[in-house]
């Protein structure tokens, strides 16, 4: 591991450019430098103050109970309703006519939803779930495209204390099935289809396949989105029938601050998906606090757009919970950025007057490739702040984002966090920090972070090592669903006093933080975590594959691309055809996002004497480098064999 970090470190160029906020931006910013002093002086008091921006039915009596570490309890004794905090309280405060969601479908259909209308529809959906027999503590799987019903369904679950498990609608039937099974979900909420790249794509049949093999599921609630023909079962209910006939009144019950809010599955170093568990009061406190401070949200004037999908944690924390708790007006867009043309995003920003944009480096690099003329043909002058998340943003992409999208006027906030952290942890305060292109800068007020060496000793400026979090934080995961030991082992065993995030990082001479990517067997493709083991198991589930090893190789657009090395059971007539078949097989098993960029058929894999695959060497091959130290290989000739055999079997389309 340390080898990998050192290699990356020496590759990282010195970056000295700095971009402080303009005095005008700094003067009006929500987050001032005094937040750091305040949090430093009284960390728990600081968090209590942030929590009190929410509406509590019963006040909490203790800020943090860490006596059962690493299982935290925040805001002990407090009771609140999450949906009430995201919707009703804004209506009661006189903002019922403010638009909460400006929805734009891929085909161009539009729908504005005010806070009053959102309250009515969330209430109806909550009543509908109750009619279906869903009660507090039940698990509900949500497999929906980016339509308002996704947000409404999540809030309806929260409103009645049910736990949602949103599964990205790009995942396969098998991925959905395994998540339904792990959580024992009682209900699935889905749609007939979704609009992608100009056509209606079927969603329902994947749900049918998953639910046929899921005895826990009693009903499937189906939103009509595309009008696609669907096969109908007794368990299926149309959203418009059931939700449409419910009362728009629903009295929200207050739940304990530690009531589970959602499970979200993410990739770890083994193939088994990990259900990350988040609870209520602490989660909403940090999601809303960070959203307000890092994006400098002004609910009266801003139009916010986070381009993520609700299937990922970014969609949970920065489309649904944080923004709505702050009374945002936000754009939600259903489709792809190239439909009908490659300037769709810039068109949306211009037409809606978007002021705050939150997106991912992989998208930014794609737009760089498509050309400056596309954003330049639109008026983007409404933008006043830009955000980035999901993977390290390289300085070139950061500068392009600043110049071409932000017109050299907008602060850029590079935000580091994880599914597990629930909300942002490391990010600049836009009115305070002199941002460096490519750096997430420093831990937010109230967050404890360090870069440590192998022994867990904190390192000073100018050094690189492992990123750890040194203090519990309100939106931290509360465990892994059904597997608390795995929670302890994964995050708290390497150095028991720290949460280990799995990332390498460097502190520069000014103390600014530079993220260096994962140090474990997890890849980051377009800002999404995919474990090498997951893809390997998908590959060996194919009858022609005997063994597989997968690595993430650096990719100019997606951050990392998946490269697979496979050993076949027999010989093959047509390697090109089989490679195509294997790539599609992985897409079918996991989802198109996990489709390998490249599959190489090899005779052997590099292994140590104890049988551990040396992925580092395969990565050298995948990244076209000279192969590094191979002295620990059981058979040192293997790497030569692999390199020689490659020319004939690689495929890259």
Q: Which residues bind ligand WT7 (CB under 6 A)?
A: 266, 312-314, 389-392, 414-419, 440, 501-503, 515, 518, 524, 527-529
Q: From the CB of 31, what's the least distance to ligand WT7, in Å?
A: 18
Q: From the CB of 275, what's the least distance to ligand WT7, in Å?
A: 13
Instruction: Give the Å distances, CA to CA, from 253 to 75, 82, 129, 256, 606.
Output: 18, 10, 15, 10, 58
- How many CB atoms are closer than 10 A to CB 202? 16
Q: Give the SS3 label for residue 430.
A: coil
Closer CB to ligand WT7, 260 or 527, in the complex: 527
Of 428, 430, 437, the C-alpha closest to 392 is: 437
Closer CB to ligand WT7, 515 or 590, in the complex: 515
Q: From the CB of 446, what's the least distance to ligand WT7, in Å?
A: 18
Closer CB to ligand WT7, 162 or 319, in the complex: 319
Q: From the CB of 308, what's the least distance to ligand WT7, in Å?
A: 8
Closer CB to ligand WT7, 415 or 619, in the complex: 415
Q: From the CB of 393, what's the least distance to ligand WT7, in Å?
A: 7
Q: From the CB of 392, what's the least distance to ligand WT7, in Å?
A: 4
Q: From the CB of 76, what's the least distance to ligand WT7, in Å?
A: 27
Three-state SS sequence of 124-152 = HHHHHHHHCCCCCCCEEEEECCCCHHHHH
Q: Give the SS3 label for residue 458.
A: strand
Closer CB to ligand WT7, 127 or 419, in the complex: 419
Q: From the CB of 472, what's the least distance to ligand WT7, in Å?
A: 18
Contact 257, 75 (CB under 8 A): yes
Give the Cα separation of 598 and 535 in Å (integer).
12
Closer CB to ligand WT7, 332 or 566, in the complex: 332
Contact 490, 266 (CB under 8 A): no
Closer CB to ligand WT7, 159 or 529, in the complex: 529
Write 66-73 long-range contacts (CB < 8 A, 24+): 66/472, 69/472, 70/472, 70/487, 70/488, 70/491, 70/492, 70/499, 71/478, 71/479, 71/484, 72/282, 72/472, 72/476, 72/478, 73/257, 73/258
Instruction: Give the Å distances, CA to CA, from 1 to 217, 243, 270, 635.
Output: 43, 52, 17, 22
Q: From the CB of 318, what's the least distance to ligand WT7, in Å?
A: 9
Closer CB to ligand WT7, 384 or 529, in the complex: 529
Q: From the CB of 649, what's the least distance to ligand WT7, in Å?
A: 31
Output the six-digit token pair for 64: 């943090």
Give the Cα separation of 5 and 518 in Å (integer).
9
Closer CB to ligand WT7, 255 or 417, in the complex: 417
Q: How far apart are the first and last CA of the chain?
A: 31
Contact 533, 522 (CB under 8 A): no
- How many CB atoms are closer than 10 A to CB 91? 20
Q: From the CB of 598, what's the least distance to ligand WT7, in Å?
A: 22
Using the 8-state DSSP alphabet, how is residue 613 labeled? B
Q: From the CB of 586, what's the least distance to ligand WT7, in Å?
A: 19
| List of residues 6+ apart from 281 with CB closer than 8 A | 51, 54, 56, 60, 74, 75, 78, 80, 257, 258, 474
Of 426, 446, 473, the C-alpha closest to 42 is: 446
Three-state SS sequence of 299-367 = CCCCCEEECCCCCCHHHHHHHHHHHHHCCCCEEEECCCCCCCCCCHHHHHHHHHCCCEEEECHHHHHHH
Closer CB to ligand WT7, 186 or 529, in the complex: 529
Q: Give the SS3 label for residue 210.
A: helix
Contact 25, 409 (CB under 8 A): no
Closer CB to ligand WT7, 246 or 288, in the complex: 288
Closer CB to ligand WT7, 177 or 529, in the complex: 529
Closer CB to ligand WT7, 195 or 531, in the complex: 531
Q: Are strands 236-238 and 219-223 parallel, antiparallel or unpaired?
A: parallel
Q: From the CB of 442, what's the least distance to ligand WT7, in Å?
A: 13
Closer CB to ligand WT7, 86 or 313, in the complex: 313
Closer CB to ligand WT7, 374 or 423, in the complex: 423
Phi, psi of 125 (to 5 degrees): -65, -35
In this structure, is the dihedral angle defined by the CA atoms of residues 257, 260, 265 and 270, taken in order, positive or negative?
positive
Across the chain, which distance is largest between two alpha carbons, in Å?
74
Residues composing the chain: 653
Output the six-digit token pair for 122: 């969330």
Q: From the CB of 426, what's the least distance to ligand WT7, in Å?
A: 8
Q: From the CB of 413, what's the least distance to ligand WT7, in Å?
A: 9
Closer CB to ligand WT7, 412 or 618, in the complex: 412
Of 241, 453, 196, 459, the C-alpha closest to 340 is: 196
Q: From the CB of 306, what's the least distance to ligand WT7, in Å?
A: 11
């Amino acid at each position: 591991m340390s080898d990998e970090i050192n290699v990356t470190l020496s590759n990282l160029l010195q970056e000295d450019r700095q971009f402080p906020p303009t005095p005008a931006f700094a003067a009006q910013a929500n987050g001032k430098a005094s937040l750091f002093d305040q949090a430093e002086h009284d960390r728990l008091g600081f968090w209590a103050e942030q929590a009190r921006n929410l509406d509590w039915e019963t006040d909490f009596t203790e800020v943090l109970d860490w006596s059962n570490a690493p299982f935290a309890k925040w805001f002990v004794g407090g009771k609140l309703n999450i949906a009430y905090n995201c919707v009703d309280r804004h209506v009661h405060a006189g903002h019922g006519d403010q638009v909460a969601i400006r929805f734009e479908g891929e085909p161009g259909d539009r729908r504005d939803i005010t806070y009053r209308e959102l309250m009515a529809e969330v209430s109806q959906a909550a009543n509908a779930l109750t009619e279906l027999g869903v009660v507090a503590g039940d698990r509900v799987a949500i497999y929906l495209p980016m339509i308002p019903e996704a947000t409404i369904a999540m809030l309806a679950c929260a409103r009645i204390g049910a736990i949602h498990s949103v599964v990205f609608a790009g995942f396969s039937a098998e991925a959905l099935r395994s998540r339904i099974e792990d959580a024992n979900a009682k209900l699935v909420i889905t749609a007939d289809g979704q609009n992608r790249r100009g056509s209606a794509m079927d969603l329902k049949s994947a749900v049918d396949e998953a639910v046929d093999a899921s005895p826990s599921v009693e009903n499937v609630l189906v939103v009509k989105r595309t009008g696609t023909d669907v096969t109908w079962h007794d368990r299926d209910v149309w959203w418009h029938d059931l939700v449409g006939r419910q009362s728009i009144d629903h009295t929200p019950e207050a739940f304990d601050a530690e009531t589970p809010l959602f499970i979200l599955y993410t990739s770890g170093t083994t193939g088994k998906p990990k259900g990350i568990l988040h609870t209520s009061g602490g989660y909403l406190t940090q999601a809303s606090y960070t959203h307000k401070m890092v994006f400098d949200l002004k609910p009266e004037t801003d139009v916010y757009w986070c381009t993520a999908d609700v299937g990922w944690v970014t969609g949970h924390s920065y489309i649904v919970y944080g923004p709505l708790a702050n009374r945002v007006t936000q754009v939600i867009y259903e489709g792809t950025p190239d439909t009908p043309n490659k300037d769709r995003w810039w068109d949306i920003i211009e037409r809606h007057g978007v002021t705050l944009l939150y997106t991912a480096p992989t998208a930014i690099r794609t737009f760089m490739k498509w050309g400056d003329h596309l954003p330049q043909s639109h008026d983007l002058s409404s933008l006043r702040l830009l955000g980035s998340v999901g993977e390290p943003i390289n300085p070139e992409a950061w500068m392009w984002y600043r110049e071409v999208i932000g017109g050299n006027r907008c602060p850029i906030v590079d935000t580091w966090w994880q599914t597990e952290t629930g909300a942002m942890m490391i990010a600049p305060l836009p009115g305070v920090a002199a941002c460096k292109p490519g750096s997430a800068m420093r831990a937010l007020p109230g967050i404890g972070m360090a870069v440590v060496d192998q022994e867990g000793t904190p390192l000073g400026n100018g050094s690189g090592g492992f990123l750890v979090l040194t203090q519990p934080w309100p939106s931290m995961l509360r465990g892994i669903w059904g597997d608390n030991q795995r929670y302890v082992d994964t995050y708290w065993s390497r150095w028991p006093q720290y949460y280990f995030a799995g990332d390498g990082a460097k502190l520069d001479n000014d103390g600014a933080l530079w993220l260096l990517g994962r140090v474990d067997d997890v890849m980051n493709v377009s800002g999404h975590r995919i474990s090498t083991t997951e893809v390997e198991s998908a590959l060996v589930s194919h009858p022609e594959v005997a063994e597989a090893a997968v690595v993430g190789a650096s990719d100019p657009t997606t951050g990392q691309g998946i490269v697979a090395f496979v050993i076949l059971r027999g010989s093959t007539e047509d390697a090109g055809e089989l490679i195509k078949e294997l790539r599609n097989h992985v897409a079918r098993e996991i989802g198109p996002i996990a489709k390998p960029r490249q599959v190489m058929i090899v005779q052997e894999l590099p292994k140590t004497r104890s049988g551990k695959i040396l992925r580092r060497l395969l990565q050298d091959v995948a990244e076209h480098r000279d192969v590094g130290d191979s002295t620990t290989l059981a058979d040192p000739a293997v790497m030569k064999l692999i390199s020689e055999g490659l020319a004939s079997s690689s495929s890259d389309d």
